[in-house]
Amino acid sequence: MSGRRIVITGVGLVTPLGVGVKNSWTNLVKGKSGLVSTKILDEYDRYYKDIPSQVVGKVPELKDGNVNGLVFHGGESSGYWDPTSFLQNGEVRKLPRFAQYALCATKEALSDANWFPTQEDDLNDTGVCIGSGIGSIEDSFNNSVNFHEKGYRKIQPLFVPKLLANMASGNVSITYGFKGPNHSVSTACATGVHAIGDAARFIKDGYCNVMVAGATEATIHPLALAGFARAKSVVTNFNDDPTAASRPFDKDRNGFVLSEGCGILILENLDHALQRGVSNIYGEVVGYGLSGDGYHITSPSPKGLGAARAMEFALKQANVLPNAIDYVNAHATSTLLGDRAENQAIQTIFGNNNKELAVSSSKGSIGHLLGAAGSVEAIFAILAMHNNVLPPTLNCDSPGGAEGDDKDNFIFNYVQNKAQDKEINYSMSNSFGFGGTNASICFKKIK
């Protein structure tokens, strides 16, 4: 990218590994899993028990206990989800959960960046770009059932505002009085990366100096899980061993694990950040690539050609050669076709130029957060670079080897099951979505 330089000055997370960046990152690096059985969910007997996929990545709540050995560090966040810690009870009832996640992660990110402006010029100079792939499926379901069974008067007055995917951006903008660009992206599972890339462009094009950017999703609902199960997209082979269910790149991968959460970044014009004396900069956004497969509504293009074009364009904007990239946080969802296609795409771009490349997928630990996956995983890619630590790919016992794989093509360091120390100067994060939409973003360390 040319012109204005865009840096990351704050991050916030809500994930199946815990609420808060420290909780999520620590558990990720320690190799913990946030995947649980649907048997712990409300209404399991009524709705979930007949769905063939019975593993999800759920943001932990206190009533669930300390599952899977997760470590929580306290502080402002207990690690467990509690909306009443930052919202009044009335606000909790009015806001859909995906917007609640966004408000929680935004509060952490703004605190991290120390950016709570009060002057009108600063408020006008701060925008919001938070996307969601689905919005509130819970409100869609509940109001549909109420209308069918009891008629018009049982529809919630706030049904439509709670349903809309842009309500996360809207509520964050209203809560903090931010009056810059108010934008929302909804590009299926590429939403998070598209939101970050678009927000960076807003700053670069002079619309503002600061953007709150990311994506959020709250889809742990029987209707969502049933829909993906009917499409044969979600895992079914590991119902009795939830933590083993998500297996990116592994020969026994069987489908993705439906998950939820949110990742928020504070993007800022570097000159603006330096002028106000920011003490901590996580890295710089240097490349953003996007493409379309033009091939199929759910399956990737053969050999991952669309994904390769997105990565190639991100490298071109970053003005670096493939051998400069130290780490790729892969989209790899644990599906047969998707992981194979992405691996081929990475090999197309890097195979002959960067055989030491580290490639890992956080979905082994957290499952697939759909629209929020890209922003959460971008933060993990940034933290990996910031801390010089490669987060592991859990359950990646034997890369390649599934039916249709060419095991000889799985040539990279997949950071199997255990974190590794490595000097990381450039990292990249990929996200791809239904409809054949692809996104890739590249980050550079600020030394």
What is the rounded CA–CA span in Å between residue 434 and residue 447?
A: 37
The catalytic residues are 189
Strands in 132-188 per DSSP E: 182-183
Through-space distance between the first and last CA atoms of the chain, rounded to whole angstroms:
19
**Sign, CA torsion 380/381/383/388:** positive
What is the rounded CA–CA span in Å between residue 394 and residue 357?
A: 18
What is the rounded CA–CA span in Å between residue 409 and residue 347?
A: 8
Q: Is the distance from CB of 125 to CB of 178 less than 8 angstroms?
A: no
Q: What is residue 382's DSSP assignment? A: H
Q: Is the distance from CB of 351 to CB of 383 less than 8 angstroms?
A: no
Q: Is the distance from CB of 258 to CB of 367 less than 8 angstroms?
A: yes
Q: Is the distance from CB of 193 to CB of 440 less than 8 angstroms?
A: yes
Residue 63: burial class (beta carbons within 10 Å; 0-12, 13-18, 19+): exposed
What is the rounded CA–CA span in Å between residue 212 and residue 349?
A: 31
Question: How far is the CA of 340 from the CAs of 56, 302, 332, 409, in angstroms?
Answer: 23, 10, 9, 9
What length does the chain have?
Answer: 447
222-228's contacts with Cβ under 8 Å and 24+ in sequence apart are 222/43, 222/47, 222/48, 222/51, 223/137, 223/141, 224/134, 224/137, 224/258, 225/38, 225/48, 225/51, 225/53, 225/56, 225/258, 226/51, 228/53, 228/256, 228/258
